[in-house]
Amino acid sequence: MINLTENAAAHIGNYLKNRGKGAGIRIGVKTSGCSGLAYVLEFVDDIDVHDVVFEHFGVKVFVDPKSLVYLDGLEMDYVKNGLNEGFEFNNPNKKGECGCGESFTV
C-alpha cells in the first residue's frame, strides 16, 4: 500500500491540472547515491498493465511490482518548512540513509 497525505495529493493534483494531461503519478526506486536506492517520481501518461494502482483524494499513484517491494507501506507527504518545500517520504522499509538524504537502504 502507498499512501498520499491530503497535502501531497493536492500538490500532485494541481500539477496534473496545470499539465493538462496524465493519469496520475508513478513512484519507483532506482539505484543511486552512496546508500543504494533513491525515489523516482514521474507523471503517468501511458499505464503499464503490470502497475499496481492506489488512489487517494482523487489522485492515482502507480507503482511497478519490483519497486513495490521497497515501497510497501510508504507515506508520501508534501511539506513546507520556511523557504523549503517538497515531498517527504516516510518509508517503514528504510533501514538507513546517506548523510545528505539522497539515497536510502532497506
pLDDT tens-digit series, residues 7-64: 999 999 999 999 999 999 999 988 765 657 788 899 999 999 999 999 999 999 999 9
> H or E segment at 27?
strand 24-32
Fold of 3-105: Hypothetical Protein Aq_1857; Chain: A; (2.60.300)
Instruction: Please state the domain extents for the chain.
Output: 3-105
Return the half-sphere exposure (C-beta side, CA atoms, 13 A cut-off) of residue 55.
4
For position 16, what pLDDT does the model report? 94
- What is the rounded distance in angstroms from the CA atom of residue 68 to the CA atom of residue 73? 9
For position 99, what pLDDT does the model report? 47
pLDDT tens-digit series, residues 52-106: 999 999 999 999 999 898 889 989 999 998 888 888 888 776 655 544 445 455 5
Q: What is the DSSP string of 4-19?
A: E-HHHHHHHHHHHHHH
